[in-house]
Amino acid sequence: MRNTPLVAALVAATVLATGLAACSDDTEDATAAPVVAADEVKAGPPSGWSDGGFAPDPASLRCGQTAADPTRGITDDEITIGGLAYLTSPNGSSMAGVDLGAQARFDRANAEGGINGRKINYIGTLDDGNDPARNGAQAKTLVDQKKIFAAVPVMTSSANYLDTFCSETVPFFGWGTNAGYCGTTIGFGITGCQVPNSQTGATSTTYGLMIQAMFGGDAKGRTTALVGVDADSARTGVSELARQIRSVGIDVVYQENPIPVAGLADTTPVVNAIMASDNGAPPDVVLYIADFNSVIKLTEALAAAGYQGKNLNPVGYDPRLAATSFEGLQQSYTILQWQPGSDTSVPAVKQLADDIATYAPQASLSLPTMAGYWAADMFVRAATEAGRELTVDSLLKLLNSGDYVNYVDGALPETRFPVNHVIGAPCASIVQLNGSKYDIITDLACGTLIKK
């Protein structure tokens, strides 16, 4: 595999991979008996999904104080917004595009008259360079110097920003792939909290549902191998995914984290173990929780070893890959948490694509770009509903009421708070790269939460 600039950029998906699965220290028994039989799990619409009777304790959520300066960043005619992301990093990975996605949505809102008569003064997204210390320092800059009303988008690997955002009561919106989005009243992930604490008390049928979709809706008797990075978050993330998959009656025959954080040099031991993991035979599905380069290496090595099963990863969707007919991911499946940007038959997705073309034509419809757009959209919708007398406290009261939902028809799944402050929406879509295009295997659909 050539290390092209595109591949280097896509290494950013490492955080997305771990974010889809990771959780804090987890000592629960991941081999517990299934809660729901595989043939009883059904795909539902992307709104109205069942929480399974689970509800978090509001008193357990941090940062619930009222704002000392509830009109910070607001004047009669504008609202100041700024973001925080790693647009660069030492290893070349980045969330580049997240700022452009947000800019496009804010620009359209301003072109339509702003939010209840106020224009959005988007000062841009600060780059923390994937440096935790810089992350915390730039959060202070956004609040103390830039006087932002809210932080949009926030897509970082570190949550050091939370010290400032919590103490100053700064609402923030983005893709909930870091711990700041979990267990607080001020962080709003577009698909909820993606790094749930193991004490949350619920799990999800999402991955079981998606594996079903890969087999035409019937996963009975199928086996899965989970392979991850040798890091704490990825280890516990693999454990959580194993629980999700077993909860719908799909057998997990391999559950290991053999990939060094620095990358996988020799694939042979991993490939040999996977190929014999199902009683001496290969599993039906290999699910990767790893960085882009490691996913490609293992996918290609398994193919060379004769593997004929299905590969599933959370990092392989990017229109630039399809445009080059990227060989390393041909026939691989990718799980997304919203409807793919290629599906412009959905009116909201077409609107997204049109907005990017109009206001940020230099951006591709990558995962970071879409995440930035949907984060901005989430803020615009909520701030609009909060009304002309908008304050930090009124916005948070609305969002945390339990009655407010964020849902973009057919494009972005429903989230509702406080439940999605502690766990993600149980929703996803699946695509498969075939030649120069992504085929949509299943449109955005939702499973359920299951109480542990």
Asked if domains 25-46+201-336+427-451 and 64-191+343-421 share a fold, the reply is yes
Q: pLDDT tens digits for 168-187?
A: 999 999 999 899 999 999 99
The answer, as to whether pTM is greater than 0.75, is yes
Q: Which helix (H) or strand (E) holds 429?
A: strand 427-434
Rounded average pLDDT over 330-349: 97
Give the residue from 205, 229, 245 showing the smallest Cα distance to 423.
Answer: 205
Q: Which CATH number fits domain 25-46+201-336+427-451: 3.40.1190.20, 3.40.47.10, 3.30.450.20, 3.40.50.2300?
A: 3.40.50.2300
Q: Where are the domains of the chain?
A: 25-46+201-336+427-451, 64-191+343-421
For residue 15, give both structure tokens: 């955080």
Report the 10 Å Cβ neighbour count for 93. 22
More confident residue, 200 or 390: 390
Taken in order 292, 293, 294, 297, the sign of the CA dihedral is positive
- Averaged confidence pLDDT in the chain: 90
The domain made up of 64-191+343-421 is a member of CATH 3.40.309.10: no
Rounded Cα distance between 379 and 337, Å, is: 18
Q: Are 420 and 192 in contact (CB under 8 A)?
A: yes
Q: What's the pLDDT tens digit per position in 74-113?
A: 999 999 999 999 999 887 778 999 999 999 999 999 999 9
Structure tokens at 110: 């301003």
What is the CA 32 to chain-centroid distance, rounded?
26
Contacts of 344 (CB under 8 A, 6+ apart): 350, 353
Neighbouring C-beta atoms of residue 452, cutoff 10 Å: 16
Mind listing the pLDDT tens digit for each residue in 366-423?
999 999 999 999 999 999 999 999 999 999 999 999 999 999 999 999 999 999 999 9
pLDDT at 218 over 80: yes
